[in-house]
Structure formats: structure tokens, C-alpha cells
Amino acid sequence: MYKMKPEYYTGIMAIDKEHARLFELVQQAHDLLNNDILLDKSDRLTDLISELINYTRTHFSHEEEYMESIHYEQLALHAAQHRKFEESLAEFDLDSLEEDYDGQNEAIQNLLDFLVNWLINHIMKVDMLYVKQ
């Protein structure tokens, strides 16, 4: 359901591969939200968020290295958006969610909405700028 579409491709293979992996993680958030068998989703949610934190850090550093290599003028502005995303992700408060099933689903829904909005917007409107330059 959540995966790369033709319009998301930058044409830079390494970057596209990493974006595809980010969509896989978004799909995992979607699947976790719709999992009706699991009674406590807190461990899976914690794991998913830490994987997101790690993987976006890796992707952002590769992307920033690439922008530096092509002497991209808007690098500082672009990197600032990456830092803002990292901060938002770190702010997800999971400690209070144990044993609160509805609260867990609400947190996963919020995470999913945030990820989908941010990722698609960022790839289409911000990442594409260094491709077009």
C-alpha cells in the first residue's frame, strides 16, 4: 500500500533505494495499526520508531553527502528540514502507552500520518530540488 510511485524517483539509485526502504517502514506502521491480534503493541512500536530514527539518520547523512558533492547551494536549508524531522521523531512519547490499547493505536495513527505527510512532501518538494538543479 505504501510504496514508491513513479513520481517519487529521483533517478539517483542509492537515494531511491533508501526512499523505498523508508516507505517499507511506513508500511510497517500501517500494518501494526491494523493488527487486531496483538494486544500490546508497545514493544513493536518502540522497535519501529528506533528503526526509523536509525534509518533516517543514515539516509539523511547520505543525502547530505551527495548534496555536498554536487555543491548544492540549498544544502543548509535542506539539512535543517532533516534535523527538524529527527526532532519530531524523537518527541514521540511512548512511556505512557503500556497497557493502553486505544492510546497505542492513537499513537501509531499519529506516527503514520506524520510519516506519510512528511515523507511524500519532502521527497516531492524538497529532495527533487537537488535533482533538478
Residues that bind Fe ion (CB under 5 A): 63, 127
CB of 1 to Fe ion, least distance (A): 20
Q: How far is the CB of 5 from Fe ion (least distance, A)?
A: 15
- Residue (94 or 120) nearer to Fe ion, CB: 120
Vertex 119: Cα angle to 125 and 21 (nearest 5): 125
Return the number of other C-beta atoms located less than 10 Å from residue 99's C-beta: 10
CB of 79 to Fe ion, least distance (A): 8
Quick one: how many helices (H) and strands (E) in the chain? 5, 0
Q: DSSP label at 124?
A: I
Q: Which one, 33 or 127, has the nearer CB to Fe ion?
A: 127
Query: Shortest gap between Cβ of 65 and Fe ion (angstroms)?
Result: 12
Taking the least distance from each CB to Fe ion, the nearer of 14 and 38 is 14
Specify the residue, 13 or 39, whose C-beta has the smaller distance to Fe ion. 13
Answer yes or no: are the C-beta atoms of 59 and 127 closer than 8 Å. no
Beta-carbon count within 10 A of 16 CB: 15
